Homo-oligomer: A and B are copies of this chain.
Amino acid sequence: MTDEATAFAKGRRSGKGEASAALLLKAAGELLAERKSLDISLLDIAKRSGLNSALIKYYFGSKDGLLLALIERDASQAMSELDFLVHARLSAERKMKIHISGIINSYFRAPYLNRLLHYLMGDGDSAAARQIADFFVMPLIEAQRAILKQGEEEGAFRSCDPQLFYFSLVGSCDLIFQATSSLRHVLGLSGVTDDLRQRYITHVTDLCLSGLMVTPRD
């Protein structure tokens, strides 16, 4: 995605266009969730939304512009919840548990999120990659840094590098949604079911918290 496309896409979404732009995003999100791939066309999106495909170019500049806006839509709510969590009057242990559930639940609600992030970030040298780093990756790391620091100050957590922690925790939450092939062969499932989601939250939370905490939890 070019810098121009990103700037273009951001400029158009204001005022009376909001409703149509939201309809197009809703349609794209539904199609991505149903198809389990990023292989959707502008025509598919237009057809599902009941709007003209020319509006996609008008509001978002391109299909990539629309996909980026979709990530922004999905991430913005999660990020404001995360900000609220970081400032809540809870122990670091409780915050980290809620945060881990939050990551796994986000992937579960938007199964395309993962694929889309990897696709749009690519090797990191594009305007889209910089935007995603700014509104998604960096705020996540800062939130985790704050929770880890609180845990250390409470005497509950061991010292832990927040940058490395980001890759290890998000990687733990990410792969099960990405490796659909392994999931099929290992667990005989074509996707993460609600039961597996709950078991996986318990598994990652137990392992991560036991790993972080100074004293045994049992």
Q: Which residues of A contact B (CB under 8 A)?
A: 36-37, 118, 121-125, 129-130, 132-133, 137-138, 141, 158, 160-161, 163-176, 178-187, 199-200, 203-204, 206-212, 214-216
Contact = CB atoms under 8 A, between A and B. Distances in A.
A171 to B, nearest CB: 3
A203 B124 contact: no
Contacts of A181: 121-125, 129, 132-133
So how many copies of this chain end up in the complex? 2
Contacts of A130: 185
Contacts of A129: 181, 184-185
Contacts of A185: 124, 129-130, 133, 137-138
Nearest to A122: B181
Contacts of A200: 164, 167-168
